[in-house]
Amino acid sequence: MNNNLKLDVSYIAGLFDAKGTISKRKKVWKMEMSMPDKNVMELVHETLGFGTLREKKVRAKKQWSWVCLNKDCFFVAEVLWAHTLVKLHKIEQIIDHYGPHIQELGDNVVDLALERENRKL
In Å, how far are 23, 50, 69, 71 from 28, measured between CA atoms?
8, 16, 7, 9
Q: What is the mean pLDDT of the chain?
A: 84
List pLDDT tens digits, range 64-108: 999 999 989 999 999 999 888 899 999 989 988 887 655 554 455
Q: What was the pLDDT predicted at 105?
A: 47
Q: What is the mean pLDDT of residues 44-56?
A: 92
In Å, how far are 15, 49, 78, 92, 95 from 75, measured between CA atoms?
17, 9, 5, 12, 8
Q: What was the pLDDT predicted at 102?
A: 53
Q: What was the pLDDT predicted at 100?
A: 65
Q: What was the pLDDT predicted at 23?
A: 95
Q: What was the pLDDT predicted at 77?
A: 93
Q: Is residue 58 scored above 70 in pLDDT?
A: yes
**Domain limits at 61?**
5-120
Q: What was the pLDDT predicted at 110?
A: 62
List pLDDT tens digits, range 109-118: 566 677 777 7
Residue 53: give its domain's CATH number. 3.10.28.10
Q: How many distinct structural domains can be found in the chain?
A: 1
